[in-house]
Amino acid sequence: MDATVGQLAARCGGEVHGDAGRLITRVDSLSKADPDTITFFADRTPPRELETAQAGAILIERGRLEELSEPQRNTCTLITVDDALDAFILLLTDERPRRNRPTIGLSHHAVIADSARIGEGTNVYPGAFVSEDVVIGTNCDVFPGAYIGPGCRLADNVTIHPGVVLYPDIEIGHRCIIHAGTAIGADGFGYRFRNGCHERIPHLGHVHIEDDVEIGACSTIDRGAVHATVIGEGSKIDNLVNVAHNCEIGKHNAFAAQVGFAGSCNTGDYVLAGGQAGIADHVNVGTGASLGAGSGFTRNVPAGETWFGSPARPGEEAAKMLIAMTRLPDMRSQLRKLDKQVQQLTAQMNQLTALDDAA
């Protein structure tokens, strides 16, 4: 990238406050920026960080300009825009365009069953395995090492990255992205103890992934025992997440890495789960709820509430308990002092009692 601040401002519909003629050669984050860099001022970034910024130009939302002191405004050239992150992404993709999607068709080095039906514009790469009775839509990508089990149904514009395993009869909606190493449709962890051993319960359901879902690398989605395990439209699942059998995940949920849902959990729409949150079986999480990172959930979470802790509790209650826990060392010290004082007072009272008895 070699462009002036003025040219970049015009590209993203911004207004320059400072040196419009400064030459910019790259796009980067605020912490990595130097005088040749354009970056952006994030929503949560405190204004004081501008005072030490080394960037040549910074994208900032118009409404935040009033928050800045005069020294902060004059540290470097600012470009005011409607949405700083959108403008940053636009310039970043200009500098680092995505590789063009190749058109290789159906590789002769892939294994594709004769009964599979594959739409126009779909790429099946060398080393992929497409089983019998599979239906794949148009403009999909099935990368090397992917396994598509019998009876699977993939809609249009689906991306299956290397090493993905789709067990039989999995349904995947339009524009879904399944990242490397993910397994979808394995049997759930369902057993009953009989005659001194764990007897497998058959899992004869399937998995239904709705449109615009993205599932991170090395995640696992188990098939239902009777019905489908469902991942709702637009949901985003990070790496190393487990969704167990019979779960029904709502629309536009977002789960960070290492979240685990035990069997038969349900979530509403727009649920957020922080990393390593663990949800016990048969727990229901209401629409718009937030689950704190590292928390353990054994009870239903009402819609719109934020819970955290282990076991998890409503936010205000959990915060009070956390504050109380931090005070325990001081409270313990105070109790020891009180205990000594009580012992001393008790001894004095016993002495006085003995004197009275003697009199």
**Regarding predicted confidence, which is higher, 205 or 348?**
205
Within a domain: residue 323? no
Position 82 scores a pLDDT of: 94
- For residue 33, the enclosing domain spans 3-95
328-358 vs 315-326: helix crossing angle, rounded to 10: 60
Within a domain: residue 105? no
Its pTM stands at 0.85
Nearest alpha carbon to residue 81 among 14, 152, 163, 166: 14
Per-residue b/e over 158-182, b at no fewer than 16 CB within 10 Å? Answer: bbbbbbbbbbbbbbbbbbbbbbbbb
pLDDT tier for residue 53 given thresholds of 50, 70 and 90: confident
Percent helix, strand, coil in the chain, to 5, is: 25, 30, 50
Task: Give the CATH number of the domain where residue 227 resides.
Answer: 2.160.10.10
**One domain, residues 118 and 227:** yes
**One domain, residues 74 and 49:** yes
**One domain, residues 31 and 160:** no
Q: What percent of the chain has pLDDT over 90?
A: 75
Q: Kindly report whether the peptide bond that precedes residue 311 is cis, defined as omega within 30 degrees of 0.
A: yes
**One domain, residues 279 and 167:** yes
**One domain, residues 131 and 246:** yes
Within a domain: residue 102? no
What SS3 class is residue 230? strand
Count of structural domains within the chain: 3
- Strands across the sheet containing 206-209: 117-118, 135-136, 153-154, 171-172, 206-209, 228-231, 248-249, 266-267, 284-285
Position 323 scores a pLDDT of: 76
In tens, the pLDDT along 292-310 reads: 999 999 999 999 999 999 8
Within a domain: residue 26? yes
- Return mean pLDDT, the chain: 93
Task: Give the CATH number of the domain where residue 64 resides.
Answer: 3.40.1390.10
Catalytic residue numbers read 245
**One domain, residues 222 and 242:** yes
**One domain, residues 76 and 198:** no
Within a domain: residue 232? yes
**One domain, residues 167 and 281:** yes
Q: What count of other Cβ atoms lies within 10 Å of the Cβ of residue 325?
A: 10
**Regarding predicted confidence, which is higher, 311 or 75?**
311
Position 71 scores a pLDDT of: 75
Cα separation, 332 vs 246, whole angstroms: 47
Q: Is the pLDDT of residue 352 over 70?
A: yes
CA 229 to chain centre: 19
Position 50 scores a pLDDT of: 79
**One domain, residues 268 and 356:** no
In tens, the pLDDT along 67-116 reads: 888 777 778 899 999 999 999 999 999 999 988 999 999 999 999 999 99
Within a domain: residue 48? yes
Q: Which of 111-120, 187-196, 216-225, 320-329 has the lowest mean pLDDT?
A: 320-329
pLDDT tier for residue 359 given thresholds of 50, 70 and 90: low
Structure tokens at 238: 């990070």
Of 95, 128, 146, the residue that ends a domain is 95
Within a domain: residue 100? no
**One domain, residues 173 and 313:** yes
Position 47 scores a pLDDT of: 78
In tens, the pLDDT along 145-204 reads: 999 999 999 999 999 999 999 999 999 999 999 999 999 999 999 999 999 999 999 999
**One domain, residues 117 and 205:** yes
Separation in Å, CA 171 to CA 125, 242, 255:
21, 18, 21
Within a domain: residue 8? yes
What are the helix and strand counts (H, E) for the chain?
5, 39
**One domain, residues 209 and 347:** no
